[in-house]
Amino acid sequence: MRKLIVFNHVSLDDYFVDVNGSMTWAKVDKQDKEWNTFVAQNASGEGPLLFGRVTYELMATSGCSGHTSAVS
């Protein structure tokens, strides 16, 4: 049986985004080696990534490279 791992950025008051709909609060330091390693491992292609509609659209329009096929 495959494992499903869930990773969410949620503030202490249970919000995913700020009042402007931005998630910039979740990642401030772009030179964070530990974070960059974590992201690289999770996006390494060893398994599928499952996004909701809003996240998928954000990733698809952000210029991310890689396989982006939608499942309907």
The residue extents of the domains of the chain are 1-72
Q: How far is CA 15 from CA 28, 53, 57, 59, in A?
A: 17, 17, 19, 19
- Of the chain, the percentage scoring pLDDT greater than 90 comes to 0
pTM, to two decimals: 0.41
Coil vs helix vs strand at 55: helix
Res 4 pLDDT > 80: no
Whole-number Å distance between alpha carbons of 4 and 20: 31
Q: How confident is the model at residue 9 (pLDDT cuts 50, 70, 90)?
A: confident
pLDDT at 64: 61
- Give me the half-sphere count of Cα atoms (radius 13 Å) on the Cβ side of residue 45: 4
Stretch 14-26: mean pLDDT: 79
